[in-house]
C-alpha cells in the first residue's frame, strides 16, 4: 500500500505524495470559493439549487481551503530549510519571485494570496528558529485577531447587506452596468485592480481571512512538519480515519451553530451584523472554531485517502495538479476571469451559485487532464520551473531526460 508520505522518485525525489494530493485538492477548494466573487455571493439567488450550492461553499469550503493552502506553504518552508541546498539568499529570491507573480496575478483578480505569502514568508524566515512553544502561542494570538479585532475595532466599514433578494438583484443590475469588471477592457480591469497592489496584510485584521490569520497558518504548518512530521508519517489508517471523522462531526456541528446565529441575529462573518457585541464575539469564535475543525477534517481525510490505496488513478491526477500548484492557481484565474470579465464572455454578476460551482468543477477537470499531460513530458510546471530557476539563480532542467 505504501506510506502516505511516499517519496515520488519518478517526478522529484523531494516530493511527498500526501502533500501533493492535499495541495491539488486545495487548488479546487480555492477555485470554487474564488468564482463566487463575481456576484454569486449576493443573496439575489433564491432557487433551491443556488441556495444549496451557496450553502455547500459556505459550510465546507469558505475559509477552509486558504487555511489548508497556507498550512502547506508553512510545511513546504520547513522542507526547504532541511534541503542541503538551502540558503537564506535563495529563500529571499524565492519570496521575491513569488511577490512578482502575485503582483501580476493581482492585476487580474483582487483575491490574490501570493503577495501575502511573499510578505509573510519573510516573517516566517525570521521566526522559524524559535522553539515550538513561542511559535504556537504567537499562532494562537494571531488567530484571535479575528474575533477580538472585530470586538475591539467595532464596525468594519462594510455596506449593510441587502434587505431582501429584490434589493440584492438591484445591486447586481447596477454592477453589470457600472463595474469595470463587467464593462471594461483588459486595461480598465488592470487599472481597477492596481490600487490593491501591493497587498497590505495588516489592514483586514478584523476578518476571518486576514493576513494575520494567514501568518498563523504558516507558523502552524511549519511547526506541524518540524515537530509532528514523523508522527504523521507513522499514523495508522484507523487513527487518520477516526481523527477525520471526529473533526467532520465537530466542524459540521459548529457550522450548524453558526447558521443558527445567522438566522437569529443576522450573523455574517464577512459583513456587518446588527447585534450585541458579545453575541457577535460568540458567533465569531464559533466560526473560527468551525474553520479550524474542518481544515483539520480535510487534512486528515486526505491523509487517510492517500494511505488507503483507493482511486489511485484519480489521486495521481490530483497530485499532478498539486505539483503544478502555482501554474494551476494562475491558470484557473485566467480561465474564470475570461469567462466573467467584459473583455471575455461577460458573465460577471449574471451567474448564480449553482452555475459557478459547475464552472469551477469544469475548470478543475481541465486542470486534471492538462497537468497530467504536461508532467508526462516535463519535470516541472512552467511557472514552477521559472520560480525554481530564479530561486537557485540558474536554469533548471525542464524536459524529462535532460
Residue 246, C-alpha cell as written in the block: 471526529
Would you say 214 and 114 are in contact if contact means Cβ atoms under 8 Å apart? no
Hey, which of 11-15, 166-170, 202-206, 251-255 has the most confident mean pLDDT? Answer: 251-255
Would you say 371 and 379 are in contact if contact means Cβ atoms under 8 Å apart? no
pLDDT at 4: 47
For the chain, the structural domain boundaries read 17-392
Using the predicted structure, report yes or no on whether residue 159 has a pLDDT greater than 70.
no
Task: Report CA-CA distances (Å) from 205 to 145, 153, 230, 394.
Answer: 6, 9, 34, 39
Task: Report the chain's mean pLDDT, rounded to a whole number.
Answer: 91
User: Percent of the chain scored above 90 by pLDDT?
Assistant: 76
**Residue 236 DSSP code:** -
Residue 309, C-alpha cell as written in the block: 490505496
What is the band of 303 on the pLDDT scale with cuts at 50, 70, 90? very high
pLDDT at 154: 60
Q: Burial level of 13, CB count in 10 A (0-12/13-18/19+)? A: exposed
Peptide bond into 364 cis (omega under 30): no
Question: Which residue in this structure is represented by grid cell 468564482?
Answer: 35
Ramachandran category for residue 266: left, alpha or beta (phi over 0 → left; psi -120 to 50 → alpha)? left
22 CB-near residues (< 8 Å, 6+ apart): 68, 72, 298, 299, 302, 303, 322
Using the predicted structure, report yes or no on whether residue 140 has a pLDDT greater than 90.
yes
Helix axes 353-375, 312-323, angle to 10 degrees: 90
Would you say 29 and 65 are in contact if contact means Cβ atoms under 8 Å apart? yes
Stretch 237-255: mean pLDDT, rounded?
97
Residue 49, C-alpha cell as written in the block: 439549487
β partners of residue 399: 378
pTM of the model: 0.92
Using the predicted structure, report yes or no on whether residue 270 has a pLDDT greater than 90.
no
Q: How far is CA 306 from the centre of its chain?
A: 21
Distance CA 23, CA 79 (A): 15
> Which is more confident, 401 or 343?
343
Distance CA 88, CA 81 (A): 9
Distance CA 153, CA 333 (A): 33
Using the predicted structure, report yes or no on whether residue 1 has a pLDDT greater than 50.
no
Distance CA 101, CA 117 (A): 11
Distance CA 377, CA 365 (A): 20
Stretch 255-271: mean pLDDT, rounded?
92
Residue 391, C-alpha cell as written in the block: 530561486
Using the predicted structure, report yes or no on whether residue 135 has a pLDDT greater than 90.
yes
List of long-range contacts for 127-135, beta carbons under 8 Å, 24+ apart? 127/219, 128/77, 128/78, 128/81, 128/222, 132/223, 132/226, 132/227, 135/219, 135/222, 135/223
Q: How far is CA 364 from the centre of its chain?
A: 15
Number of CB atoms found within 10 A of residue 277's CB = 11
Would you say 250 and 182 are in contact if contact means Cβ atoms under 8 Å apart? no
β partners of residue 7: 16
Amino acid at each position: 500500500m505504501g506510506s502516505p508520505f511516499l517519496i515520488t522518485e519518478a517526478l522529484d525525489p523531494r516530493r511527498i505524495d500526501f502533500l501533493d494530493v492535499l495541495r491539488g485538492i486545495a487548488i479546487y477548494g480555492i477555485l470554487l470559493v474564488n468564482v463566487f466573487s463575481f456576484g454569486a455571493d449576493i443573496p439575489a439567488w433564491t432557487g433551491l439549487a443556488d441556495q444549496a450550492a451557496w450553502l455547500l461553499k459556505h459550510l465546507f469550503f469558505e475559509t477552509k481551503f486558504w487555511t489548508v493552502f497556507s498550512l502547506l506553504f508553512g510545511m513546504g518552508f520547513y522542507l526547504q530549510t532541511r534541503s542541503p541546498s538551502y540558503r537564506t539568499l535563495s529563500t529571499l529570491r524565492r519570496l521575491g519571485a513569488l511577490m512578482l507573480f502575485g503582483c501580476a496575478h493581482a492585476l487580474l483578480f483582487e483575491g490574490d494570496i501570493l503577495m501575502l505569502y511573499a510578505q509573510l514568508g519573510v516573517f516566517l524566515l525570521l521566526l522559524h528558529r524559535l522553539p515550538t512553544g513561542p511559535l504556537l502561542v504567537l499562532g494562537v494570538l494571531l488567530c484571535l485577531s479575528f474575533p477580538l479585532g472585530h470586538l475591539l475595532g467595532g464596525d468594519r466599514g462594510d455596506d449593510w447587506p441587502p434587505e431582501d433578494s429584490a434589493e440584492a438583484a438591484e445591486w447586481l443590475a447596477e454592477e453589470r452596468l457600472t463595474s469595470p469588471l463587467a464593462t471594461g477592457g483588459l486595461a480598465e480591469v488592470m487599472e481597477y485592480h492596481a490600487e490593491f497592489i501591493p497587498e497590505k496584510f495588516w489592514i483586514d485584521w478584523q476578518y476571518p481571512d486576514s493576513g494575520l490569520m494567514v501568518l498563523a497558518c504558516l507558523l502552524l504548518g511549519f511547526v506541524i512538519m518540524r515537530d509532528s512530521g514523523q508522527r504523521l508519517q507513522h499514523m495508522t489508517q484507523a487513527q487518520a480515519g477516526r481523527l477525520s471523522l471526529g473533526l467532520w462531526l465537530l466542524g459540521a456541528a459548529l457550522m450548524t451553530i453558526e447558521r443558527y446565529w445567522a438566522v437569529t441575529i443576522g450573523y455574517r462573518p464577512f459583513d456587518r451584523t446588527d447585534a450585541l457585541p458579545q453575541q457577535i464575539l460568540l458567533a465569531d469564535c464559533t466560526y473560527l472554531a468551525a474553520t479550524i475543525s474542518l481544515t483539520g477534517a480535510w487534512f486528515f481525510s486526505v491523509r487517510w485517502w492517500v494511505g488507503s490505496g483507493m482511486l489511485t488513478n484519480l489521486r495521481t491526477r490530483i497530485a499532478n495538479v498539486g505539483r503544478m500548484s502555482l501554474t494551476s492557481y494562475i491558470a484557473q484565474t485566467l480561465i474564470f476571469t475570461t469567462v466573467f470579465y467584459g473583455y471575455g464572455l461577460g458573465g460577471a454578476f449574471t451567474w448564480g451559485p449553482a452555475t459557478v460551482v459547475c464552472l469551477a468543477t469544469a475548470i478543475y477537470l481541465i486542470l486534471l487532464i492538462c497537468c497530467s499531460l504536461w508532467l508526462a513530458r516535463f519535470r516541472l510546471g512552467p511557472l514552477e520551473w521559472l520560480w525554481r530557476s530564479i530561486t537557485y539563480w540558474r536554469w533548471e532542467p525542464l524536459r524529462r531526460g535532460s
